[in-house]
C-alpha cells in the first residue's frame, strides 16, 4: 500500500475518472435533467419536493424524497416557516464548492481532516421591493471563505479550492448567465 492509497476522503475518484472516459464517447448519457416541484402553501410560504431526475439515458430517483420549505422572515411581514429562496442559492454554492474540495483532495492524495465554508450574499432589497429600479433583484456579490484542516501546505490547500471553483456547477451557474424560461401551462 502506497501513501496515496491510504488517503481516504470518502470520494470514489476512480469511478469518476472512469465515468469521464465513458462519457467522452457517449455524450447523450451525460445529459441530465434535474427537477423540483413547488407547491404554494399560503402567503410566500412554499414547499418544494425533489425526488426524480433523468440521467445516463434513463429515469433515476434519489433514495429518498427531499422536502424543502421556503418563506420570508418576520421582518418582511411573513411567518418565517423556513429560509428564503435566495438563501437556497448560498446552500447550493457552499455545498458544491465543499464537495469539490473533497473530490480534488482525493484525486491529489491530500487527506482532509475538516472543511468548513461560510458564505455571505450581499443583497440590496430595494430591487425586489421596486423601491429603486437601478438596484438589481439578486445578490450584489457573494463571498465564500474556507477553513480547511488537511495534511497539506497553505499553497496546496489554496490550489484545491481553486480547482474546486473551476469545476463547480453552482459557481458557474451563479457567475455566468443561464437561460431561464418561465411559462404558464396551457
Site for its own copies in 80-119 (CB under 8 A): 80, 82-99, 101-103, 112, 114-119
| Residue 134 near its own copies by CB under 8 A | no
| Residue 72 near its own copies by CB under 8 A | yes
CA separation for the pair 54, 133 (Å, rounded): 39
Considering the complex, what minimum distance in angstroms separates the CB of residue 88 from its own copies?
3
Q: Which of 1, 5, 6, 181 touches its own copies (CB under 8 A)?
A: 181
Residues within window 6-45 making contact with its own copies, judged by CB under 8 A = 9-12, 15-16, 19-21, 23-24, 27, 30-40, 42-45
Considering the complex, what minimum distance in angstroms separates the CB of residue 156 from its own copies?
11
Take residue 41 and report the three cell numbers written for it: 402553501
| Residue 153 near its own copies by CB under 8 A | no
Considering the complex, what minimum distance in angstroms separates the CB of residue 169 from its own copies?
5
Take residue 180 and report the three cell numbers written for it: 431561464
CA separation for the pair 23, 30 (Å, rounded): 6
Give the three-state DSSP class for 60: strand
Considering the complex, what minimum distance in angstroms separates the CB of residue 108 from its own copies?
14
Comparing CB distances to its own copies, the nearer of 3 and 180 is 180
Dihedral sign, CA of 180, 182, 185, 186?
A: negative
CA separation for the pair 72, 163 (Å, rounded): 35
Considering the complex, what minimum distance in angstroms separates the CB of residue 151 from its own copies?
15
Burial class (CB in 10 A: 0-12, 13-18, 19+), 76: middle
Comparing CB distances to its own copies, the nearer of 87 and 109 is 87
Query: How many angstroms separate the most distant Cα atoms in the chain?
Result: 64
Amino acid at each position: 500500500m502506497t501513501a496515496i492509497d491510504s488517503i481516504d476522503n470518502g470520494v470514489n475518484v476512480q469511478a469518476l475518472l472512469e465515468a469521464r472516459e465513458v462519457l467522452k464517447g457517449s455524450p447523450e448519457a451525460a445529459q441530465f435533467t434535474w427537477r423540483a416541484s413547488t407547491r404554494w402553501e399560503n402567503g410566500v410560504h412554499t414547499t418544494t419536493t425533489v425526488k426524480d431526475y433523468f440521467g445516463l439515458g434513463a429515469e433515476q430517483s434519489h433514495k429518498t424524497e427531499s422536502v424543502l420549505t421556503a418563506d420570508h422572515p418576520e421582518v418582511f411581514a411573513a411567518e418565517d416557516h423556513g429560509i428564503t429562496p435566495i438563501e437556497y442559492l448560498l446552500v447550493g454554492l457552499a455545498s458544491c464548492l465543499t464537495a469539490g474540495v473533497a473530490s480534488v483532495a482525493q484525486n491529489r492524495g491530500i487527506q482532509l481532516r475538516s472543511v468548513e465554508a461560510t458564505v455571505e450574499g450581499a443583497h440590496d432589497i430595494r430591487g425586489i421591493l421596486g423601491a429603486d429600479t437601478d438596484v438589481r433583484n439578486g445578490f450584489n456579490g457573494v463571498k465564500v471563505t474556507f477553513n480547511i484542516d488537511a495534511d497539506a501546505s497553505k499553497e496546496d490547500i489554496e490550489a484545491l479550492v481553486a480547482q474546486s471553483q473551476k469545476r463547480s456547477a453552482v459557481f458557474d451557474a451563479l457567475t455566468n448567465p443561464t437561460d431561464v424560461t418561465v411559462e404558464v401551462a396551457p
